[in-house]
Amino acid sequence: MDLLLIGGVSGSGKSVALAAFEDSGYYTVNNLPVPLVVPTADYLAGSGQQRVAVALDVKTGPGLPGLAEAIAALQERDWEVRFLYLDATVETLVKRFSETRRRHPFSSGDRTLTEAIEYERDLLADVRRLGITFDTSELPSAGLRAWIKEFVSVDPSKLTLQVESFGFKHGVPLDADLVFDVRCLPNPHYEPALSPLSGKDEPVVRFLETIPEVERMYGDIYHFVASWLPDYARDNRNYLTVAIGCTGGKHRSVYLGERLARAFSPRYQVLVRHRDLDGA
């Protein structure tokens, strides 16, 4: 049985993710309290369901108590269990709640929206480490659904490398495990013909390939990641996010992200995300 548990802060896109899993063939359950995870999984397995996605109810107990024990109990039954933790910046969450005019589940008479967001984040701090973190900041619903479809296509028993480009002016991704700063490299943004393009476009690729510093930076990042990936795999990690950042997340980081993904894909499962292109 393939069981996906979905948690994270309110407003981070759990409902969108659950719908995307349903579109991908999963039987879905929404707002399930943690104490009911194991009996629900047992019941669904007995009824013949093999792929199940469950969005956890964060309001039934502070910090999803008992989640680690529930995951361990299911794994003892030889089920593949993954916990997907969705996150977003405070600024993004405030904007989403303000636009939808929804009430935050932890808001109260003496708690502002920002305080409610921080309160919930503190409650969930311990369970975040149990799963795979994905930052949905600046990502539209369509982008999250596309990422979910890629996510379900990988083998959960093997380490998956996610290469993520981003722009420092929009903040460092919350889901990054390793961060490399490439802002010291020449910027195609200042070339009038290249500024409207991205690091995926051939003119930008040709421009960056002629610069020795770009080649040296690529080589240093590649060799660092390649030398440490086996250690992450031995540590039973099944997901590692390598983030490459330039100023705007459009040219240099995108080019290096694409190139690193191609280099590692023959040996590892690789997902590519261009945060500030995908969210445009």
Q: The whole model's pTM is what?
A: 0.86
68 — phi, psi (to 5°)?
-60, -40
- The reported pLDDT for the residue numbered 280 is 46
What is the chain's percent helix, strand, coil content, to nearest 5? 45, 20, 35
Smallest Cα–Cα separation from 71: which of 202, 238, 246?
A: 238
Same domain, 113 and 166: no
Instruction: Give the structural domain span for 20.
Output: 2-153
Token duo for residue 223: 């060799």
Same domain, 142 and 14: yes
Same domain, 32 and 118: yes
Same domain, 192 and 62: no
Contact criterion met (CB below 8 Å) for 257 and 204: no
Smallest Cα–Cα separation from 26: which of 136, 119, 151?
A: 151
| Each residue's pLDDT tens digit, 213-236 | 999 999 999 999 999 999 998 887
Q: What is the mean pLDDT of each run of 10 residues along the chain (280 residues)?
A: 93 95 95 94 92 89 86 90 95 91 84 92 91 90 91 88 95 95 97 97 97 98 96 88 97 98 95 81
- The reported pLDDT for the residue numbered 279 is 56
Same domain, 72 and 141: yes
Give the number of domains in the chain: 2
Contact criterion met (CB below 8 Å) for 248 and 189: yes
Contact criterion met (CB below 8 Å) for 3 and 26: no
| Beta strand ranges found along the chain (DSSP E) | 2-8, 27-32, 51-56, 80-87, 132-135, 160-167, 178-181, 239-246, 269-274
Radius of gyration over alpha carbons of the chain, in Å? 20
- The reported pLDDT for the residue numbered 254 is 98
Same domain, 129 and 15: yes
Domain boundary among 123, 153, 183: 153
Same domain, 120 and 6: yes
List the Cα angle 93/94/97 in 5-degree steps: 85
- The reported pLDDT for the residue numbered 278 is 63
Same domain, 32 and 133: yes
